[in-house]
């Protein structure tokens, strides 16, 4: 009877052993950058992710019988203008590209900071099981990034941002529970047997790039209409070339000599084999021939990020009479940027 009582006393002492020296500590081990890569301002959004890697350790007397439940909040600071949603990164021309960091894969909940009244930090949990006394338990949290579409005024270049380490931190609280029979704290700042505690987090690097780009929208047909077969007066016509190029990106539009040219002279041909000589110009006076030689006779311009329209002036000068018929040619438009 005395032997059984002694065993009971030992077991009771085991289960009520104090944890004065028990502690749970957490640290951020690394943060990968949010690298968006190439962004086309005239196209759709671009997504990427970043990763916060962290670790927690439980140490204490009788630690093998206890586990810890940890609730952590990671605060990511604003951009250099103090903005959270959207944040911005900048290029050498001081153009600002908007981007967002989010807590969810749907990119609907901005990732903020405990220092912000409007945007909350990301919250996640980590559990340290029994028999893990002194062991390092690792975890990670995904930050979802998006560069939204509709930023057509962005110019070519590399865009970067650094979300300073001084504004980034991880706050956590924990519950240490016998045999891991416990729950996570209600938040990173309340509801635990320990905490809240705070640990530093490195700076978050954000990057993207924009390359010069042009999209040729339309090049309408040029119609000279009904022209006298005598061809003894000038005949004029115009057409339009529409294109969209990246803001500040230089471009050149060239027109080849067509499929019926002879010695560089543009010609329209009829089904019967007759030819009507004509040419294309960058000006209404017909003094600047529009050709296809870069930096010589092409039409130059600078992109705006919006659609731009160029006028092509056509001219049939007096020449030998031809027989009646329909005369055609095909010109290839080339955009170089």
Q: Can you give the residue ranges of every domain in the chain? A: 21-210, 214-336
- Could you confirm whether domain 21-210 is CATH 2.60.40? yes
Q: CA distances (Å), 65 to each of 62, 183, 286, in order?
A: 6, 16, 93
pLDDT at position 116 is: 82
CATH of 214-336 among 3.40.50.720, 3.40.50.300, 2.60.40.1090, 3.30.420.40: 2.60.40.1090
Nearest to residue 130, comparing CAs of 176, 74, 81?
176
pLDDT digits (tens, 9 = 90+) for 235-269: 999 999 999 999 999 999 999 999 999 999 999 99
pLDDT digits (tens, 9 = 90+) for 127-137: 999 888 888 99
> Is the CB of residue 192 less than 8 Å from the CB of residue 221?
no
Same fold? 21-210, 214-336: yes
pLDDT at position 8 is: 33
Query: How many residues make up the chain in this entry?
Result: 337
Q: Which pair of tokens denotes residue 139? A: 């975890």
> Is the CB of residue 130 less than 8 Å from the CB of residue 180?
yes
How do 23-31 and 46-59 pair as beta strands?
A: antiparallel
pLDDT at position 6 is: 32
Q: How many CB atoms lie within 10 A of CB 241?
A: 20
Regions of the chain with pLDDT less than 50: 1-21
pLDDT at position 65 is: 85
Residue 106: enclosing H or E segment and its boundaries?
A: none
pLDDT at position 75 is: 98
Task: Give the sign of the dihedral formed by CA 230, CA 231, CA 236, CA 240.
Answer: positive
Which positions ≥6 away from 181 have C-beta within 8 Å? none
């Amino acid at each position: 009877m005395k032997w059984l009582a002694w065993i009971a006393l030992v077991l009771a002492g085991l289960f009520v052993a104090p944890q004065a020296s028990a502690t749970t500590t957490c640290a951020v081990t690394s943060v990968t950058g949010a690298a968006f890569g190439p962004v086309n301002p005239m196209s759709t959004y671009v997504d990427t992710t970043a990763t916060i890697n962290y670790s927690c350790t439980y140490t204490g007397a009788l630690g093998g019988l206890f586990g810890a439940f940890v609730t952590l909040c990671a605060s990511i600071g604003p951009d250099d203008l103090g903005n959270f949603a959207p944040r911005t990164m900048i290029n050498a021309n001081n153009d600002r590209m908007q981007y967002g960091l989010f807590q969810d894969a749907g990119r609907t909940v901005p990732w903020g900071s405990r220092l912000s009244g409007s945007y909350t930090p990301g919250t996640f949990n980590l559990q340290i099981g029994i028999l893990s006394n002194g062991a390092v338990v690792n975890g990670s949290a995904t930050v979802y990034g998006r560069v939204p579409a509709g930023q057509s005024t962005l110019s070519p270049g590399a865009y970067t941002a650094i979300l300073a380490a001084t504004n980034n931190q991880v706050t956590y609280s924990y519950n240490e529970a016998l045999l891991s029979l416990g729950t996570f704290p209600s938040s990173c700042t309340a509801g635990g047997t320990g905490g809240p505690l705070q640990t530093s987090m490195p700076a978050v690097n954000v990057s993207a790039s924009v390359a010069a780009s042009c999209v040729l929208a339309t090049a309408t047909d040029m119609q000279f209409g009904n022209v006298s077969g005598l061809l003894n007066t000038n005949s004029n016509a115009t057409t339009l070339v529409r294109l969209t190029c990246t803001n500040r990106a230089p471009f050149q539009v060239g027109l080849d000599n067509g499929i019926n040219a002879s010695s560089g002279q543009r010609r329209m041909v009829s089904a019967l084999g007759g030819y009507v000589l004509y040419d294309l110009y960058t000006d209404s006076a017909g003094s600047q021939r529009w050709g296809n030689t870069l930096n010589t006779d092409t039409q130059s311009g600078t992109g705006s990020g919006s659609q731009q329209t160029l006028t092509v002036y056509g001219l049939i000068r007096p020449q030998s009479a031809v027989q009646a018929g329909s005369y055609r040619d095909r010109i290839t438009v080339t955009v170089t940027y």
